[in-house]
Amino acid sequence: MSDYCAGCRYSPEGETGEGACPFNPRIDRAYATWDRLGEDRQRAHLDSAEAALAALEPAKAGWAQVSPPIELLS
């Protein structure tokens, strides 16, 4: 089993409270699936992702506009 949490300030055992991991258990299943794929399938996914990223074109200048922050309901 891989240790993706080594060196993290959060506790992977904690689900609630101070120091609890904000990602567990949501991301735990994704990592477990990744680990089951095997090196060949992992490499195929990584190669596919790299090709998709390489094919992206830069955004046109000014495409993103900064919006004012959304105010929370009281």
Give residue 48's pLDDT: 94
Rounded to whole angstroms, the Cα distance separating 66 from 52 reads 27
Give residue 71's pLDDT: 63
In a domain, 65, yes or no: no
Give residue 42's pLDDT: 93
In a domain, 70, yes or no: no
In a domain, 73, yes or no: no
HSE on the CB side for 28, CA within 13 Å?
9
**Phi, psi torsion values for 33, nearest 5 degrees:** -65, -45
Residue 11 has pLDDT above 60, yes or no: yes
pLDDT in tens, 20-70: 887 776 777 888 899 999 999 999 999 999 999 999 888 787 777 666 666
Range of the domain at 3: 1-49
**Phi, psi torsion values for 11, nearest 5 degrees:** -95, 120
In a domain, 42, yes or no: yes
The count of structural domains within the chain is 1
